[in-house]
Amino acid sequence: MKLLIVTGMSGSGKSSVMDVMEDIGFYCIDNIPPKLIPQFVDLCRKSEMSLDRIAVAVDIRSGDMFTEIFRARQTLKNENSVDVKVLFIEAEDEVLIKRYKETRRKHPLDEKFNGNMHDAIRYERKQLTQLREICDYYIETTNYSASQLKEEVKSIFLEKTSDSIIIKVMSFGFKYGVSTESDLVFDVRCLPNPYYIDRLRNHTGVEKCIQDYVMGFQESQELFGKLTNLIDFLIPLYIKEGKSQLIISFGCTGGKHRSITFAELMAEHLIKENYKVQKYHRDITKDKKF
């Protein structure tokens, strides 16, 4: 089991980091009392959900309990079955103050220091000094935008940047309504329709006979090639912008033949490119005679 403890200065970007960790497959929990971390890890180990990658955010909000993080970390390090790492995040004082003013949020120590944010930040930084010294990963976010921080986190915890995005390739029929959840929609009704071939009408695009028919035309092959080039160009840009899910849809009249063919072939192409791919044929069973 892998456990990542995310900590650091309030306002430095821990919430953004936790969002990224969740997107890349970690089970995440925020503001857990440090003393409870070993028990939480034990519960995850026994869970039927196979939780083998966990990220917990711990910060000064835990109050007096915060110092328990050192004991919890050592307890887990003594267990050979748990790989414990600490990610520490911070930023310069003036940047932290600016972020709090822009978001109109209170610093966790606001009441303790009667609204004096400089004193609150100074105290918090002092409390975190020892933890900063033992961290395994360190990110200074002073000059980072939100998207840059996400890219930095992905570069640390992902072997391949393509792992940060899940691509859903789906088919649908325009006669049942346009797919409204999609990021990219391609209309393939311009291609020859197998529906008008009696021997093919009751088959679908998941079957070879339909795929052979649809892709047996020069225009189909050229269209697929152009769409493949476009999608190959776009995906890295979506990843760079921090998008965690991309839905690509192909539509034809009934959602049975041409759209499914293109969705199947595009999914196959993207899998070969080592992307995480899900397939969904929305209207494949519509009007089906049983």
| CA angle, residues 29, 31, 32, in degrees to nearest 5 | 70
Question: Can you read off the two tokens belonging to residue 67?
Answer: 């110092």
The CATH code belonging to domain 2-158 is 3.40.50.300
**Which amino acid is it at 259?**
S
Coil, helix or strand at residue 205: coil
The reported pLDDT for the residue numbered 104 is: 84
The reported pLDDT for the residue numbered 67 is: 80
The reported pLDDT for the residue numbered 59 is: 85
Alpha-carbon span 122 to 138, nearest angstrom: 19
Q: What does the pLDDT look like over 61-99, one tens digit per residue?
A: 777 677 888 888 888 888 777 889 999 999 999 999 999
The reported pLDDT for the residue numbered 79 is: 78
Alpha-carbon span 275 to 17, nearest angstrom: 22
Judge whether 227 and 221 are in contact, CB under 8 Å.
Answer: no
Backbone angles phi, psi at 263, to 5 degrees: -65, -45
**Which amino acid is it at 32?**
I
Edge-to-edge strands, sheet with 2-8? 27-30, 53-57, 2-8, 83-90, 137-140
The reported pLDDT for the residue numbered 290 is: 39
Coil, helix or strand at residue 160: coil
Alpha-carbon span 43 to 238, nearest angstrom: 36
Give the pTM: 0.62
The domain segmentation of the chain, as residue ranges, is: 2-158, 163-281
Strand pairing category for 166-173 and 245-252? parallel
Backbone angles phi, psi at 166, to 5 degrees: -105, 125
The reported pLDDT for the residue numbered 88 is: 94
The reported pLDDT for the residue numbered 183 is: 92
Alpha-carbon span 192 to 186, nearest angstrom: 15
Low pLDDT (below 70) residues in the chain: 64, 161-162, 288-290
Q: Is the dihedral of CA 124, 127, 133, 134 positive or negative?
A: negative
